[in-house]
């Protein structure tokens, strides 16, 4: 496990419909599903939505940490994200809406820092994913 991720994450089919999943992250439970148009029950966000939510949350947290450390008067922020596939390439659009008495230099600094959040870096660079078979636990 990574330095900052100390929780085991498990994903289990719920048996509700074709694709509904129960995601357990430490003490938190999230439901994921697919849209009805592709055979799901729409009981929760789809995996791409969860991926975008992770990027948005990480970006927001990273910006808030930076603003606090540098005493930047960032009052509030909202991040809008969307995913498209173009010619077999994944493209994520991330738009920052920053409020506060910010100079143009501070806005540029925040934009630069947004691209340094850990999830952004992971998505931007290839990650190695190792999938293996496990044995059933009781």
The better pLDDT of the pair 25, 4 is held by 25
Mean pLDDT confidence for 13-42: 96
* pLDDT of 3 strictly over 60: no
Q: b or e along 15-52 (b: 16 or more beta carbons within 10 Å of the residue's beta carbon)?
A: eeeebbbbbeeeeeeeebbbeeeeebbebbbbeeeebb
Quickly name the fold that domain 46-127 has: GMP Synthetase; Chain A, domain 3 (3.30.300)
Which pLDDT band, with edges at 50, 70 and 90, does 136 fall under?
confident
pLDDT of residue 94: 96
pLDDT digit string, tens, across residues 79-130? 999 999 899 888 999 999 999 999 999 999 999 999 999 999 999 887 788 8
- Place 41 in a pLDDT band, splitting at 50, 70 and 90: very high
Q: What is the average per-residue pLDDT within 53-59?
A: 97
Percent of the chain with pLDDT over 70: 93
For the chain, what is the mean pLDDT? 92
The residues with which 74 forms a beta bridge, in sequence order, are 100
Q: Which tokens is 8 given?
A: 């085991």
Residue 133: pLDDT over 90:
no
| pLDDT at residue 57, as a whole number | 98
Q: Enumerate residues 6+ apart whose C-beta is below 8 A from 57.
A: none
């Amino acid at each position: 496990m990574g330095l900052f991720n100390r929780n085991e994450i498990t994903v289990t089919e719920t048996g509700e419909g074709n694709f509904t999943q129960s995601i357990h992250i430490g003490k938190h439970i999230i439901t994921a599903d697919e849209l009805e148009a592709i055979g799901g029950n729409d009981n929760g966000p789809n995996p791409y939505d969860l991926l975008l939510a992770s990027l948005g949350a990480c970006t927001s947290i990273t910006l808030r940490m930076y603003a606090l450390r540098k005493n930047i008067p960032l009052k509030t922020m909202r991040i809008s994200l969307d995913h498209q596939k173009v010619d077999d390439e994944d493209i994520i659009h991330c738009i920052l809406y920053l409020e506060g008495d910010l100079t143009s230099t501070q806005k540029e600094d925040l934009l630069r820092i947004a691209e340094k959040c850990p999830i952004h870096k992971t998505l931007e660079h290839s990650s190695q994913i190792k999938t293996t078979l496990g044995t059933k636990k009781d």
